Structure 1
C-alpha cells in the first residue's frame, strides 16, 4: 500500500507539472501566431492601406516597443499577484486585441491594436520562467523551459503555410479574428488546469514562505543583468528580422509567389522547432555530467549565436535561392538553441523572490532588439533599396550578443538586491 501511495503521488505530481507545461506550450503557440500574423499579411495590408516600407516597418514594430516596456511592470505584477490572475487577464486582452485587428480601417487603428497586443502578451513568458523554476530542479529545468519555448518556433514554422492558407481562404481580417477566438479557448484551459497550491508537489529547493521585496534598480544594474540584456538585444535582432521581413524578402527579392514564400519560410522555422529542445537537452546533460550550471547554459547559447551570425551575414550575397534558404535555416537553428535555455537561466541566476522581475527585465531587453529589427530593416531598404546591409547588420549584432553572454559569470544573490545604504 505504501509503495502504491508513493507511486500515485509521484504520478500526480509528474502529470500535473507537465500538464501545465503543455497548456503553456499551446498558449505560446497562439501567443506567437498573434504576433506574426501581420508579417504574413504584410504585403496585402500594405497594398490595401497604401503603406511605404518605413510605415510598414513602424507598423511591424508597433507590437514590439509596448511589449518591451510592459515587461518591466509585468515581472513585478507576476511576483506580486501570481501567475494565475496575470496569465488569465493577459490572454483575454491580447485575444480581444487580435480580434479587433480584423476590423481596423487604416494605419492608426491597426497600430493601436498592435500596441494593446504587445502590452497584454508581456507577462506570458515571464510566467513560464516562474513555473519552471517553481516546479522543476536544475537538471530538468532546461528541457521544461525549452518545451514551453517551443511554441514560438512551432508557430513560426507553421505560420507561413497555415496563415497564408487562412488568409487565402477567409481574408486577412478573418485570419486575425479566428486566431483571437483560439486564444480565448487557451484561457479556458488555463482556468481548468492551473492550480496555485502545489508547494508539496515539488522537490525543488526554491519554495519558501517568505519572499522579501526586490530592489528593482539593484537588480537592473547588476553586472549579470547588463551582460544578459546586451546579449538579448543582439541575438533577438536577427530572430525578429526573420519573423517580420522574411516572407517579404522571399517575394520581393527572391521572386517567389505568396504561396511559395509561405512554404519556403516554414523551413527555417521548423529547424528552429527542432533546435529549441536540443539546446535545453544539451545544457541539462552538461549539468548532469558535473558542469557548472551557468557554464552549461552558456554552451548552447554562445555557440549558437556565433554560428547564427556566421550563417546570416552572407545570405544576400548568395545568388542561388536554395542556398540562401539553407543559410537562413542554419542561422535560425543555431540561434534557437538558446531560446529555452535563457529562460531556464533566469531561474538559475536569480533568487526565488526576483524570478518574475528579472524575467521581465531580460525580456524587455530582448524586445528592444525585436523593435529595432523591423524599423532598422525598413530604413535600410528605404535608403539602399537592397537587403545586403540588412543581413550584415543583424550578423554583427548577433556576434556582439554572443560576446556579452559569454561574460556572464555570477549568480544574483538575495543580498545583492538589498537597498543601497547611503
Structure 2
C-alpha cells in the first residue's frame, strides 16, 4: 500500500504540467514546440537517470533510495510553483525527472522480494495502479485546484504532500530477502553491458519504446487536444480526459490477474506475461489510429478509452516480467534499463506531437504515428523468449 500511495503522488507531480500547460503557455507566451519541449523536460532526464538508478537501488536498497528520491522530487515540485519563465520551469522538471527515476525500479525489487511468480503479476499491478488512479482523477482534481488556487498553488500543494509519504515509508517499510535471494545477491557484480546487450533486453526495450509513445501522447496532450480540436472548455476537458484513465485503472489489475491465472493453469511464465502485453498493445494501436478521423467527439472518446484500457493491461505485467526474467542481483539494473527505454518513447511523444501539430495544424498524423509505433512494440514483445541467467551477467 505504501508503494501504491507513493506511485499516486509520483504521477500527480508529473501530470500537473499537462493539466496546466494551456494556462502556463499563455502566461509565458509559449508556442506548441516550446510547450512540447517543456512537457518533455521531465522525461529525458528521467530516462537517462534510470540507468544508474537501477544499479544504485541494487547496491543501496529500496528503503534509503525511496526516501531521498521523494524528498528531492517534492522539493522540485514546490520550486515549480515559484518559477518565472520557460527556463526555470525546465530546470525544475529536469530535477523532478532525475529524482523520480528510482521509484518503479524499487517497485520491481519489492515485488521480487515479497511475492512468488504466481502472485507477482497482481502485486506489480497494485503498485502500478497508482499512475492510472492519478491519471484518472488528476484531470478533475487538478483542474479544480488550478481554478481554485492557480497553477502555482497547485504545484506547491502537491509537493508538500510528498513529505507525508516519505515519513510513512521510513516508519513502516522493511526490506526482506529470501535465503536463496541473499545467496545470489552475494555472487558479485553484474556486467551492465552484458545485461544491456542481451537479446531479451533489446526486445523488451523496443517494445517499451513503441508502447510508451501512445500512452504518453494521451498523458501529455489529451487535455489540449480536447480543448483545441474538440472545442471543449477547460472544465469539460478535465472531466472528459478522466474517463480513459479511469478505464486504465480497471485494466491494470485485470492484466496482472490474467497473467497470474495463466501461470497457475500451467502456462510458461514468460508466455503468460506476454498474453495481456502483446494483445493489449495490438488493440491499443488499432483503436488509436482513426481517432482524429472520427467527427463525433463521443465516439472519438470511446476509441481513446479503448486504447488506454488495452494499453494499460501490460503495465503491472511488465514490472512482474522484470523479476521473472532476471536473477535477484540484477533486478534493479534491468528495471532501470527497461524503464529508460520506456521514457525514450515518453520523451519522443510530446516533442513529436508538438512538431506534427505545428507543421500540419492537425492531430491526424499524431494518432497514426502513435498507433504504428505501438504495433511495432507489440511485435517486439512477442519475440521475448528466454530468461537472463546469472551466468549471462558475470563480468568478463
Q: What corresponds to 1:107 in structure 2?
A: 86
Indicate the structure (1 or 2) with the bigger Cα radius of gyration. Answer: 1
Q: Pick from 129, 142, 155 the counterpart of residue 150 of structure 1.
A: 129
Q: What corresponds to 2:357 in structure 1?
A: 381
Q: Distance in 1 between matches of 2:299 and 2:313?
A: 22
Q: What corresponds to 1:270 in structure 2?
A: 246
Report whether the alignment pairs 1:219 with 2:195: yes
* Contact 2:189-2:395 at 8 Å conserved across structures: no
* Contact 1:134-1:207 at 8 Å conserved across structures: no
Q: Deviations over 1:108-136 (max 9, x none)?
A: 00000000000000000000000000100
Shift of 1:418: 1.8
Report whether the alignment pairs 1:356 with 2:335: no
Report whether the alignment pairs 1:191 with 2:170: yes
The 5 A counterparts of 1:257-406 are: 257-406=233-382
Shift of 1:211: 3.8
Q: Distance in 2 between matches of 1:290 and 1:142?
A: 15
Q: Deviations over 1:322-343 (max 9, x none)?
A: 0000000000000000000000
Shift of 1:207: 4.3
* Contact 1:211-1:352 at 8 Å conserved across structures: no
Structure 1 unaligned blocks of 5 or more: 1-21
* Contact 1:133-1:206 at 8 Å conserved across structures: no
Q: Distance in 1 between matches of 2:303 and 2:168?
A: 39
Q: Distance in 1 between matches of 2:355 and 2:368?
A: 14
The 5 A counterparts of 1:233-244 are: 233-244=209-220
Q: Distance in 2 between matches of 1:399 and 1:211?
A: 39
Q: Pick from 28, 37, 48 the counterpart of residue 58 of structure 1.
A: 37
Question: 3-state SS of the aligned residue for 1:250?
Answer: helix
Report whether the alignment pairs 1:417 with 2:396: no
TM-score, structure 2 as length reference: 0.99
Q: What corresponds to 2:28 in structure 1?
A: 49
Shift of 1:195: 1.5
Q: What corresponds to 2:66 in structure 1?
A: 87
TM-score, structure 1 as length reference: 0.93
Shift of 1:419: 2.7
Q: Distance in 2 between matches of 1:211 and 1:344?
A: 23
Q: Pick from 149, 158, 162 the counterpart of residue 141 of structure 2.
A: 162
Q: What corresponds to 1:7 in structure 2?
A: none
Question: 3-state SS of the aligned residue for 1:325?
Answer: helix
